[in-house]
């Protein structure tokens, strides 16, 4: 018994010793453990995203009656401004949301005019999901983009459509609405083409849209600083391609103050076909008139009659291009002709819906002014010369005896470009910049490769312009963009490239495309 007790004590002593060792070991381990933490916090913050909204002149029409569009557009508009106060690009969408208190059921009775668009019925706008809890419907008025710190102003007019019936059905009704602006972050750069096509989707005409957004394409677009300050495409190969007439045409620019048959002046897009329709005479004549060299009066020129309507009675060339027909076209002096076929290149009925008559200028330089000292800006002036006393004269009456008084303007559909169009299309190059090119006379441009090689209108072949040329004893010539890049005068009967040019209607829109040859702009009304 004593031995057992002693043995148990020994076991207890060992357990106590182990326990002490474990405790000591634990303490010893804790002395070598250190806990550290960083001084600063880990943080992730989002970029700035804030849009300011300011407005004035809420629309409040009490006991209103249906009115005409002419009256509606004179109403004081509701105005608001949105501003992107951050450095990020954003997309925005402006909606008109119809509040629940509205008791007018038919939105066809509400007319809107947003910005400078034509008045339209509210229900014709795309429907969107309302963002206001007390709204039943929402109609999109516009979508677009804002770059960093960019601001945009808006104007909205609302009125009752003049076709709204004045019956008990719509009497004592309420139309209540609010503007909302929905914005979202845009990571990618906003391209000029996106702005243009978005304008088209929003209902803006192409000319207004391009003028407003020209600042976003400073490489390809520039103002010519003439009295009309037209906006033009410049450079070797700008993105100015459009699908027109089932083929490629190009935008010369936005020409301001273009007059139509009613005397109204508007900004209109000028197009030129990318390729010529062939080599033909500008005009020719029998041997007893100007020795067969033709008459340089566009209003009666053979090529004008070929390009335009209402000359079907002409035995040669009359309206063949306009009507997509085949026949004979003038091609040399003394009324020589050749076979021509426009069945695949003539104007389609769809293309004719997009352009119309415009005033084309037919002025020319004074007799004392030679083409070898005329700069681009001077050409622009002389094209608009109103000297109505120009007649054909020469030292030898055989070469100039037509007795036809030259006109200064022509109202028509299809013309040719001006010499100034060619001059203003250059961007210049590394050795001679654009301004230096414009300060060189066009007759000498063949000496300046930078001027002609960086000009998308250069064709390396003779191109007839619409502008007659006058010099001391000659009035049978036409200004021609020559194959070596200079502008000179050539006889009207010569066979040179004919490249049609037109003015689109002011209401034409660009709805798709990027302006490249592969992805050209698409046009619609």
- Establish if 319 belongs to a structural domain: yes
- Looking at residue 16, what is its pLDDT? 44
- Looking at residue 42, what is its pLDDT? 72
- Establish if 28 belongs to a structural domain: no
User: Are residues 183 and 207 both part of a single domain?
Assistant: no
Instruction: Give residue 287's region: left, alpha or beta (phi > 0; psi -120 to 50).
Output: alpha
**Of 214 and 56, more confident:** 214
- Establish if 38 belongs to a structural domain: no
- Looking at residue 120, what is its pLDDT? 93
Mean pLDDT of 265-287: 96
- Establish if 17 belongs to a structural domain: no
Of 130, 165, 190, the last residue of a domain is 190
**Of 390 and 459, more confident:** 459
Q: Per-residue pLDDT for 446 more than 90?
A: yes
> CB 40: neighbour CB atoms within 10 A?
5
User: Are residues 332 and 444 both part of a single domain?
Assistant: yes
Sheet holding 127-128, edge to edge: 127-128, 135-146, 89-99, 177-186
User: Are residues 186 and 206 both part of a single domain?
Assistant: no
Mean pLDDT of 319-341: 95
The model carries a pTM of 0.84
Spatial neighbors of 363 by CB under 8 A, at least 6 apart, are 382, 383, 384, 385, 386, 387, 408, 467
Read off the pLDDT of residues 358-405 as tens digits, 9 standing for 90 and up: 999 998 766 555 666 899 999 999 899 887 666 665 555 667 788 787
Here the CATH number for the domain that contains residue 147 is: 2.60.40
DSSP E strands: which ranges in 228-336? 231-233, 241-244, 247-259, 265-273, 279-280, 326-330
Q: How confident is the model at residue 474 (pLDDT cuts 50, 70, 90)?
A: low
- Establish if 155 belongs to a structural domain: yes
- Looking at residue 20, what is its pLDDT? 42
By the 8 A CB rule, do 315 and 335 touch?
Answer: no
- Rounded Cα gap, residues 474 and 303, in angstroms: 20
- Looking at residue 35, what is its pLDDT? 65
- Looking at residue 29, what is its pLDDT? 46
> CB 471: neighbour CB atoms within 10 A?
17
Q: Quickly tell me which residue has 């066809």 as its tokens.
A: 108
- Alpha carbon of 164 to those of 159, 176, 471, 495: distances in Å? 11, 17, 64, 61
Read off the pLDDT of residues 119-151 as tens digits, 9 standing for 90 and up: 999 999 999 999 999 999 999 999 999 988 889
User: Are residues 400 and 458 both part of a single domain?
Assistant: yes
- Looking at residue 28, what is its pLDDT? 46
Of 190, 215, 246, the last residue of a domain is 190
- Per the structure, the complete domain to which residue 136 belongs is given by 51-190
Cα torsion for 424, 430, 435, 438, to the nearest 10°?
Answer: -50
- Looking at residue 401, what is its pLDDT? 80
User: Are residues 166 and 256 both part of a single domain?
Assistant: no
User: Are residues 205 and 285 both part of a single domain?
Assistant: yes
Spatial neighbors of 338 by CB under 8 A, at least 6 apart, are 328, 329, 331
Regarding beta strands 496-497 and 279-280, do their DSSP bridges make them parallel or antiparallel, or are they unpaired?
antiparallel
- Establish if 488 belongs to a structural domain: yes
Of 190, 224, 245, the last residue of a domain is 190
DSSP E strands: which ranges in 34-176? 51-56, 78-84, 89-99, 110-114, 120-121, 127-128, 135-146, 151-160
User: Are residues 322 and 440 both part of a single domain?
Assistant: yes
- Rounded Cα gap, residues 243 and 143, in angstroms: 24
- Rounded Cα gap, residues 56 and 316, in angstroms: 64
Q: Per-residue pLDDT for 267 more than 80?
A: yes
- Establish if 232 belongs to a structural domain: yes
Read off the pLDDT of residues 423-438 as tens digits, 9 standing for 90 and up: 999 999 999 999 999 9
User: Are residues 207 and 152 both part of a single domain?
Assistant: no
User: Are residues 159 and 214 both part of a single domain?
Assistant: no
The domain total for the chain is 2
User: Are residues 139 and 214 both part of a single domain?
Assistant: no
- Establish if 2 belongs to a structural domain: no
Q: Lowest-pLDDT range, 34-43, 287-296, 299-308, 358-367?
A: 34-43
User: Are residues 122 and 209 both part of a single domain?
Assistant: no
Percentage above 90 pLDDT, the chain: 63
Q: How confident is the model at residue 18 (pLDDT cuts 50, 70, 90)?
A: very low
Q: Per-residue pLDDT for 306 more than 80?
A: yes
User: Are residues 326 and 470 both part of a single domain?
Assistant: yes
Helix ranges restricted to H, 410-459: 419-424, 434-438, 449-453
């Amino acid at each position: 018994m004593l031995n057992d007790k002693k043995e148990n004590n020994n076991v207890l002593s060992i357990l106590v010793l182990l326990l002490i060792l474990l405790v000591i070991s634990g303490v010893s381990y804790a002395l070598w453990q250190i806990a550290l933490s960083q001084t600063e916090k880990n943080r992730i913050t989002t970029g700035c995203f804030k849009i300011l909204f300011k407005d004035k002149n809420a629309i409040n029409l009490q006991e209103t009656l249906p009115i005409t569009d002419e009256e509606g557009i004179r109403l004081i508009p509701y105005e608001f401004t949105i501003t992107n106060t951050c450095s990020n690009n954003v997309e925005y969408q402006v909606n008109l949301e119809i509040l629940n208190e509205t008791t007018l059921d038919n939105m066809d009775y509400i007319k809107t005019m947003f910005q400078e668009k034509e008045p339209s019925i509210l229900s014709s706008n795309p429907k969107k999901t309302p963002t206001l809890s007390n709204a039943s419907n929402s109609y999109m008025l516009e979508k677009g983009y804002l770059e960093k710190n960019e601001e945009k102003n808006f104007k909205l007019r609302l009125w009752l459509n003049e076709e709204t019936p004045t019956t008990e059905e719509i009497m004592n009704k309420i139309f209540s609405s609010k503007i909302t602006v929905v914005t979202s972050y845009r990571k990618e750069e906003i391209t000029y083409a996106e702005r243009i096509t978005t304008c088209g989707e929003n209902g803006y005409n192409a000319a207004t849209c391009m003028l407003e957004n020209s600042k976003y394409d400073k490489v390809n677009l520039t103002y010519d600083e003439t009295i009309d300050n037209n906006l033009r495409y410049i450079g070797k190969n700008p993105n100015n391609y459009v699908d027109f007439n089932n083929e490629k045409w190009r935008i010369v620019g936005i020409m301001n103050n273009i007059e139509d048959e009613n005397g109204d002046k508007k900004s209109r897009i000028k197009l030129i076909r990318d390729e010529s329709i062939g080599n033909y005479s500008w005009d020719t004549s029998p041997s007893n008139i100007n020795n067969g060299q033709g008459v340089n009066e566009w209003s009666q020129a053979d090529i004008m009659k070929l390009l335009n309507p209402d000359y079907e009675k002409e035995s040669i060339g009359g309206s063949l291009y306009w009507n997509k027909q085949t026949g004979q076209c003038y091609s040399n002096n003394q009324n020589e002709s050749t076979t021509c076929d426009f069945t695949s290149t003539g104007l389609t009925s769809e293309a004719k819906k997009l352009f119309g008559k415009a005033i084309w200028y037919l002025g020319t330089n004074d007799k004392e002014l030679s083409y070898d000292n005329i700069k681009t800006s001077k050409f622009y002036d002389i094209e608009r010369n109103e000297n109505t006393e120009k007649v054909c004269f020469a030292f030898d009456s055989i070469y100039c005896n037509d007795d036809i008084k030259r006109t200064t303007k022509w109202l028509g559909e299809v013309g040719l470009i001006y010499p100034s169009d060619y001059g203003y299309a250059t961007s210049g190059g590394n050795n001679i910049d654009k301004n230096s090119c414009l300060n060189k006379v066009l007759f000498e441009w063949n000496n300046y490769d930078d001027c002609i090689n960086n000009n998308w209108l250069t064709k390396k072949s003779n191109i007839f312009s619409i502008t007659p040329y006058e010099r001391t004893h000659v009035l049978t010539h036409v200004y021609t963009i020559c194959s070596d890049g200079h502008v000179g005068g050539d006889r009207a009967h010569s066979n040179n490239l004919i490249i049609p040019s037109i003015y689109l209607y002011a209401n034409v829109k660009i709805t798709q495309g990027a302006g490249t040859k592969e992805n050209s702009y698409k046009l619609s009304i």
